Structure formats: C-alpha cells, structure tokens
Structure 1
Amino acid sequence: MSSHIGIPVNGVIGSSFFINNLIEINYDKRKVFFYKDSRRNRRRIERRYKKVPITLEDAKPYVNANVVIDSELIPTKLLIDVGNSDAIWLFQNANHKIKVPVNNFDDYLGKGFSGDVEGKRARISEFLISDFKFIKPIVAFPDSSSIKHVTMVPGRVGSIGGEILRRFSVVFDYQNEFLYLKKNRRYFAPFVYNKSGIEIRHSGVQWVKETVQLRAFPITVDHVEINDDKKATGLKYKFQLKPVFEIANLRKNSPAAKCGLLKGDVIISINKNIAYKYSLEQINSMLRSEEDKWITIEVERDHQLLKFRFQLIDIL
C-alpha cells in the first residue's frame, strides 16, 4: 500500500473505531474530527449538513443512490469506500441493467488486498445521491475475475469512492445509521482521469547529493563593516534521502505506451524537473490534467538514460 500511495502506511482504521463517535472527514482541511455523540453536537451537524440514510452490514456502510446509463435511471446499493480513489465502481454481473458505455477503455483500476484489479473506465450520464447530482462522472467497471474473491452483501452493485466524497465534508454516524454531507469548494470540480496510461509507484529511496551555498555575513569592527567579496560565498555538499519512482503498470495503447515507455522504467525527470522533487500525489495530479498537455519523461532503463514525449489526450 505504501508504495502505491507514496507515503508510509502503518495500518488501517476499522469500523469499531467509528461505532461510538461521530466522525467527520474534512477533505478541504485534510483532517479527521472526532465528536462525542451528544445532543448538542448532533443538532449542530444536522443544521449544517444534509442527512442521508445508510445501512451497516458486516460492519461496513452502504448507501442507496442512482446512476443514469444510456438515459436509464438505475437504483444502486453502494459500499461507501473512503479508501477507493475513484468516483464510482459498478459491477456488471450484479445487475443486468448495468452496462459499460460504448465509449470506454481497458485500464488498471488499482491494487486491493487480493491483488491487482483490472477493468474498464467510462463516463456515465449522471450520478445522484440524496439531493446531489453529478454530471458525467467517470466510473470504473472491474472485471469479474478481479473481484471474484470479494464477499458481497445482498443487493450490492458497486462502491462510492473518494472522487465523489472529496467534494463534501462527510460525517459518519454509525450508531444511528446516517451519513451527513455538506458541499465544499471542490463540489463542481470536473471529473478527470489519468490520461497518460502510466501507473507510478514509490519504489524506495536514494541518497542524493545536493550543493548548498554558504554566505559569509559581514563583520563589523569598530563600526566599520568588512565584507570580502572574494570570500563571501562558498559551497558545501549535503546528502538527503529522496524517493525513487517507477512505472508499475502501463495501459495498452495509451499515450505513454505508444511512445515507448515500459513497465519497470525508473523515472528520472518530468518536464525537465527532477522527479524526486515531486510527491507521488503531485505526479498523479499532473497526469490527470484537464488540458491536453505534452509530457516529457526521462527514465533509466538497463543503466541507460532514455527520453520520451507524449501528449495527454482525453479519449472519453
């Protein structure tokens, strides 16, 4: 998990942590707040948030929502999965009405506890939850073989993930089976995806030698400032641990694959900037750009430095 997220992951917070408190995930502030389940806190939340009924099954939260595919409104029961970075997952074999739109592409959807998940991505017409409506969200349709080991509760047809949830401040009330939603500044953000076709992972760290400029400060002697310009500056080296980024997966027929990049290539620079100066989140954000940008990537392959260039093109 750590290598694919790009930060150390030491564990997972489970449902028993949620059961006795009101838990707010504030995506704007990047903080989680824990409130005692008191009448005062509940009234304050109910005034500011939209209350949405949920159910708890096998200690996991589920919500009813609607999707519109090819002009047909389809009721769905979805797992609320804050660990899933996609907007929505839909399982084709769970409901005969759920069909992948014609305009789609095969993609690597992520890594689960059971291994890699493959499937398709496509835009659907609408997604509706309570009074909130989203136009043309991007939906992942995992292959049945990738999720065959997942235990399904009756009626579940998919998941709602972080790309929807991050558009709200979210409060979970497990005890009374409610979800509270309040729009944040990301509510109207467009739905984007990784146009490059590259899945990047953090594959370790490296020692990097950097030069640091030393500057001699002026010395005052008897109120006279002395500053010898010849000795005013100097250099020394410092060593720091920096991340190493590697191509973990490559979508077939994607811009990155067509230009010649390969799985296992170690990324040295992106658009002439050294790769380790970015976080994995920043790199992924760059590859999910709304615009059809050109990307230049320098990689190391078999002890050789190679340079590739491709354009981010929206095929949906």
Structure 2
Amino acid sequence: MNTALSQYMQKSVGFFLVLIFTLQVAGFAQVPGFFMKEDRRKVTLPFYASNSLIIIPVSINGNTPINFLLDTGVRSNILFSRVLGDALGLEYTRQLKLVGADGSTDLTASVSPINHFDLGPIEGVFQSLLVLDEEFFGLESVIGIPIYGIIGHEFFKYNPIKIDYDNEKIDFYQQGRMKWKPLFYRKMDLSVEDSKPYINAEVKQRDGSVLQAKLLVDTGANHGLLLNRETTDKITMPPLFIESELGQSLGGILYGYVGRVDYMELAGFRLKDVLTSYPEETDFSYVIKESGRQGSLGAEVLGRTKLILDYPRDRILVKKAENFYAPFQFDMSGMSLKKIPNDDNRVYISEVRVGSPAANSGVKAYDEILEINNVPTFIWELSEINRLMRSEPGKKITMKIRRYKDDNLEDYEDSVVTFSLRKQI
C-alpha cells in the first residue's frame, strides 16, 4: 500500500500547491491540517481505548460522527467503504490501485480530495480521503467495535500531541506552546520520514545479543514489539515461540510467530520479557527494507506510557503509566477470536492452535461462542474476552459453543466444553 500512496502524494503536490495559492489569494492562510477551533494553548479530546488502540468519533462534512482509528503508522486518511462514502456525499477525482501488507494488489480506492473533519474542539481542513471501493470490516472483527476509517499523519504533523491512555484523553497543543520538558517525562529523538515517526531502541534478545533497532512508532498496531527478520540477520528467533495470527491488515490476515525478548529500553525505561511478533516475509517486505527500519512499536507497549509525540520538534517524550511494569501476557487458551461484523456481539473462533487447551477440549475453528462461564457472549466486549483468556494460568473456562454443519446456519449442534488456561510462551 505504501508504494501506491507515495505515488498518490507525489502526483497530488501540484494540486495542493494550486489549492493553497488560490486560498491565499482569496485571503485565507489555512493549509491542509488539523487545527484548534479556538486560539488556546491546548484542547482536550476524549477517546475510546480498545486494547490501547485509539478510537475517536469524527464527523465528515457535517455528517453523523463515525469511529476512526488514530494511526501514526499511515500517511493518508482512509475510509473503509465506498458505499459509506457515497452516503456521506463524498466527491471523487480518480481511482488508485493499492498494495496490501500481504503483497496483494487487488485493492482499489477512490480519491476524495477536499473534506472537512470535525473532532469537537479540533477540525481537519482540506483533508484528502482514500475511500476503499470494497468494504473492509477486518478491524471491527478483531477490535470488536465498528471502525470506519483511519486518520493518519495529518493529525500529528503541526502540533504536539499528548496521549494519556489511562484516562483516555488526548491533549492537542498549539504549536510552540507546550513546555520544552514536562515534569517526569524523558525525551527521545524522533525522526519523521516519509510522514512516519521513527525512534531508536535497544533490544536484548534471548540469545544474549543486543539489537540497536530503528522502530516505527505505530499507534494503530495492536502488537507490542514487532521485529522484521528479513531486514537484518542480527534479529534472532527465541528458542520458545508459537505460530499465530499476528493481526489484520487491508490486504488480509498477517501470519508469523510470537516469542519474547529479554528486554527493550524505551527512553531509559526497561521493559522485560516483552512479547514480540516476528511476521513472515511477504512481497511487501521491500518497502520495510527501504525504510531502514527493523520493526515497529505498537499499542501493547505504547499503551503502558503517557506519550507525547512532538513532530515539529523531532522528539518523543515518555512517562511511565500505572501499568508500565505489568507482565506481558499472551493468550493462554489457544484460540484466536473474532467478532462477526455488523452483528450484535456474536463471536467466533477463527483459529485454534494444535495442542492448546482449547484444541484438546474439542474446540474447532469457526465454532461460535454462545456463553463463557455461564455469561451470554452478547454481554461481553471482545476485548474483555481476550483479557480473560490472558488472565492467569490454571483459570477454568467453560464455554457453550455452536458448530454449524456444511455452512448451513439452520443446521447446527450446541455443546459445552471446559478447559484450563495454560501459559504457552
């Protein structure tokens, strides 16, 4: 996807220069970006945190607000549905072919070049949107609530942003009006390259080697630490790892392995036994190699901090949150769970690891979960179920499941299974 977006941005430079010149001639000084509606030192924007992913309601062109994911890992704003885009009254100029993270090229998007985003005290002016021509519900299936799009680099480029995961709020500062060194924060150098933020961090691997890693700061990724083995032979797999789904991208499900490193240091703070994802190499890997990075830092680590992203001053500031030193726990059931999109909290099992507690109890992929410990599934949030499955070794789980026969939704069999959680890595 990065290649297509890069081409789009390059081809759009001329358009935006003409737009800016026209606006300045007309007496307006504003350029594309996100700004406060009132001239204040800072404003506060509440958000909803799901597994430390940042979800905010956004009104586009005066329409009803819809949920967007705030994501430092992408350049352009994206809307996940052309049907929704049409309903919002968006206007399009042309179509692009996108490359998904799995290397596929069968995604297309229509470009809607000028839109207004309303986030309450903040507005995004002259915002471009890439609108997927086919609907994408992948994020809702893994996060558990409807997500209709992504806000990327534009939100961060002009203003210091303080993210408080504990209290689910963002402080959006006027440029140059935040203290140079807020109390108890530690500073790291931040480089913004190709509209994406990078830091350097020290990672000690299980074999004792120390990796000086260039990492993408990715608020839109639900992993903790991710290392791309294809970028350097200095990245080594730990002796204990499991094969697993790693996440959901526009191009499909990402597969790879999950293990641990001894520690990683972030602004001098040391996190031990960090869960680490090792994705399989794909046709998309050349983009990662060209960026010079060795991996990325996602919400599972970032959500343990109070974080300031200050693009204008090329810095990131970090302060420990209350859960900073909490153990990194991985699923102990052996199941990957997903929500059925556009339905009322119906959860199914997308994958079952061989030899895991769930597999040994008879659970199979595509079973639907009806109850967990006598509580109906529709009462649970998907994030709550995932936390339960990571909670503690030996915890007893009883589930009522429904197994459909030959894809016939009217032909099924219900059963009850019981297993105990077991730590696997």
Looking at structure 1, the residues matched to 347 and 232 of structure 2 have their Cα atoms a distance apart, in angstroms, of 39
Larger radius of gyration: 1
1:98-109 matches, cutoff 5 A = 98-109=235-246
User: Which amino acid is 2:252 matched to?
Assistant: G
- 1:120 is paired with a residue whose SS is strand
The answer to whether structure 1 residue 16 and structure 2 residue 125 are counterparts is: no
Aligned partner of 1:277 in structure 2 is: 379
> Structure 1 residues 57, 204: CA separation in 2 closer, same or farther (over 3 Å shift)?
closer
1:79-94 matches, cutoff 5 A = 79-94=216-231
Looking at structure 1, the residues matched to 193 and 355 of structure 2 have their Cα atoms a distance apart, in angstroms, of 40
- Tell me the matched-pair count: 279
The answer to whether structure 1 residue 143 and structure 2 residue 277 are counterparts is: no
Aligned partner of 1:263 in structure 2 is: 365
Task: Render the CA deviation track for 1:201-227: whole Å, top value 9, x for unaligned.
Answer: 111466xxxxxxxxxxxxxxxxxxxxx
Aligned partner of 2:254 in structure 1 is: 117
Aligned partner of 2:142 in structure 1 is: 4
User: Which amino acid is 2:364 matched to?
Assistant: L
Looking at structure 1, the residues matched to 235 and 400 of structure 2 have their Cα atoms a distance apart, in angstroms, of 41
- 1:268 is paired with a residue whose SS is strand
Q: Is the 8 A contact 2:332 2:393 kept in 1?
A: no
| Equivalent of 1:179 in 316, 334, 350 | 316
The alpha-carbon deviation at position 129 of structure 1 amounts to 2.0
Looking at structure 2, the residues matched to 67 and 119 of structure 1 have their Cα atoms a distance apart, in angstroms, of 20
1:1-316 matches, cutoff 5 A = 1-39=139-177, 41-43=178-180, 45-69=181-205, 70-145=207-282, 148=285, 151-204=288-341, 242-302=344-404, 303-316=412-425
The alpha-carbon deviation at position 291 of structure 1 amounts to 3.0
Looking at structure 2, the residues matched to 294 and 191 of structure 1 have their Cα atoms a distance apart, in angstroms, of 20
- 1:9 is paired with a residue whose SS is coil
Looking at structure 2, the residues matched to 88 and 18 of structure 1 have their Cα atoms a distance apart, in angstroms, of 22
Looking at structure 2, the residues matched to 97 and 84 of structure 1 have their Cα atoms a distance apart, in angstroms, of 23
User: Which amino acid is 1:11 matched to?
Assistant: G
| RMSD (Å), alpha carbons | 1.7
Give the fraction of aligned pairs with identical amino acids, expressed as a percent. Answer: 31
User: Which amino acid is 2:357 matched to?
Assistant: P
Looking at structure 1, the residues matched to 355 and 142 of structure 2 have their Cα atoms a distance apart, in angstroms, of 22
> Structure 1 residues 204, 61: CA separation in 2 closer, same or farther (over 3 Å shift)?
closer
Task: Render the CA deviation track for 1:248-283: whole Å, top value 9, x for unaligned.
Answer: 222233221222212211110001111111111100
The alpha-carbon deviation at position 290 of structure 1 amounts to 3.0
> Structure 1 residues 245, 149: CA separation in 2 closer, same or farther (over 3 Å shift)?
farther
Structure 2 portions without partners, runs of 5+: 1-138, 405-411
User: Which amino acid is 1:312 matched to?
Assistant: L
- 2:203 is paired with a residue whose SS is strand
Looking at structure 1, the residues matched to 200 and 314 of structure 2 have their Cα atoms a distance apart, in angstroms, of 13
Looking at structure 1, the residues matched to 283 and 335 of structure 2 have their Cα atoms a distance apart, in angstroms, of 20
Structure 1 portions without partners, runs of 5+: 207-241
- 1:276 is paired with a residue whose SS is helix
Task: Render the CA deviation track for 1:147-175: whole Å, top value 9, x for unaligned.
Answer: 54754444211111111111111111111
Looking at structure 1, the residues matched to 283 and 143 of structure 2 have their Cα atoms a distance apart, in angstroms, of 20
Q: Is the 8 A contact 1:68 1:127 kept in 2?
A: yes
Q: Is the 8 A contact 2:231 2:288 kept in 1?
A: no
Q: Is the 8 A contact 1:118 1:146 kept in 2?
A: no
Looking at structure 1, the residues matched to 290 and 319 of structure 2 have their Cα atoms a distance apart, in angstroms, of 28
User: Which amino acid is 2:229 matched to?
Assistant: Q
More strand by share: 1
Q: Is the 8 A contact 1:205 1:244 kept in 2?
A: no
Looking at structure 2, the residues matched to 16 and 109 of structure 1 have their Cα atoms a distance apart, in angstroms, of 27
- 1:82 is paired with a residue whose SS is coil
Which shows bigger deviation, 287-296 or 76-85? 287-296
